Amino acid sequence: MVAMPSETVELRGHIIDSLILPKVLDGILTRGANFKIAEIRIGQSRVDQSYARIEVSAASDAMLGDILLRLRQHGAEVLERKNVQLAPAPTDGVFPDDFYVTTNQQTYVQFDAKDLLVESPMMDCAIVVDHDSRKARSVKFSEVRKGDQTVVGHQGIRVQPVQRETARTSVFQFNANVSAETPKTAIIRELAREFRQIRQANGTILVVAGPSVVHTGAGAHLVKLIEAGFVQRLFTGNGLAVYDVESALYGTSLGVNLERGSVADASRENHMHAINRIRQAGGIAEAVEQKVLARGIMHACVRHGVDIVLSGSIRDDGPIPGVTTDTVEAQRIMREKLRGVSLVLMMGSMLHSIAVVNMVPATVKILCVDIDSRVVARLTSQQTFQAVGLVADVEPFLRELVEAIEKAGSNSDRKPAA
């Protein structure tokens, strides 16, 4: 009998109830390989950590390597630790062959027999190690420079996945995906409490929003949320900005009167004239200054110091000044503005939300609200134990959230706007 290639891996932490051990064993079986549990110590009560040592054997080195890669992404650590392998980037913007592709989990690389924490964990990057400073960081294609020492293969890499906290104090611990057929009042109350806690701890809240926030008449609620100090950053596109301006200037959204309601005129004219007004003013902030723009979401953002990132898309009319039309540059700005964010509230925007989901570390809380259950499923699927998805109308959701935040606040210290 020929010896099959095998390796020993270790798992630590809340590996049972965070589903890490089951996923690891499942990953081994699904790929047709075998395991033997050499040792297992399961935390006896819920605050204890668990530990498992598992021997994995597979039919070929290639298959074993593939399996180890997956296990590492679930937090398994190969027992005989080796240094990471590095290779220089062959040219600007190109990684070496077989570069390691990052997840958004906290990751360590072993370098000179020491563990380096990879800075800015983010999906779909390479890891570049600086010999001198002994720092490792995740790097996008556009950021790599010729000669950068880049991690290749899978050796010497350790991923530490977000684990479910044992005390389920936060609604985000439940990783809930709340269907349209479920009462939302209670969960919105919970979320309101969470919003207040984050702000009391001086956390940063990012809103990612699409044009339907304006179309559905939810703009006024978002303005209140901004005024109450619960929005620090806003990522959106030309669409929401223009619809908001149109509604501020003409009372319509895509020609539909927001007061009189939907059964009306659907002209594109106000929309295009709104763009023209902002182009003439020189931009959103200028329009506010010139008092062309005196109400609405954009106005509230300018007045309350909310950081606005407007990213361009090929669907845009105009666009207005301030929209970053280069998509790579827009991604760079968003990555920068994601630093320090504690919670992302995504509403009615597929394009911008996917972009953000691709960039956030696994530790950031995500709240996704959309009337389309597939959008909610898509956006919450990557954030384990940190994402809440609600299939809901954006307008009544936001109205209720703002009311619940106000109500929660009236019983406690008022948090002044940032």
Nearby residues of 77 by Cβ (< 8 Å), 6 or more positions away: 9, 10, 11, 12, 158
For 287, counting Cβ atoms within 10 Å of its Cβ (0-12 exposed, 13-18 middle, 19+ buried), the class is buried
- Of 59, 62, 88, 93, the one binding a second copy (CB under 8 A) is 93
CB of residue 175 to a second copy, shortest distance in Å: 9
Residue numbers 326-355 binding a second copy by CB under 8 A: 326-331, 334, 351-352, 354-355
Tokens for 330, please give them.
Answer: 């827009």
Tokens for 348, please give them.
Answer: 């009615």
Residue numbers 212-271 binding a second copy by CB under 8 A: 212, 215-217, 253, 256-263, 265, 267-269, 271
Question: Is 369 in contact with 395 (CB distance < 8 Å)?
Answer: no
Three-class SS state of 388? strand
The H-or-E segment that residue 332 falls in is helix 327-337
351 vs 408, which CB is nearer to a second copy?
351
Question: Is 392 in contact with 368 (CB distance < 8 Å)?
Answer: no
Three-class SS state of 192? helix
Instruction: Indicate the residue type of 303.
Output: R
Q: Using CB under 8 A, count the residues that bind a second copy.
A: 110
Residue numbers 268-307 binding a second copy by CB under 8 A: 268-269, 271-273, 275-276, 279-280
391 binds a second copy (CB under 8 A): yes
275 vs 345, which CB is nearer to a second copy?
275
408 binds a second copy (CB under 8 A): no
114 vs 407, which CB is nearer to a second copy?
407
Nearby residues of 98 by Cβ (< 8 Å), 6 or more positions away: 87, 152, 153
> Residues 3-22: x/- map of binding to a second copy (CB under 8 A)?
-------------xx-x-xx
CB of residue 47 to a second copy, shortest distance in Å: 10
- Of 128, 178, 198, 301, the one binding a second copy (CB under 8 A) is 178
Residue numbers 24-63 binding a second copy by CB under 8 A: 25-26, 29-32, 34-38, 40, 42-46
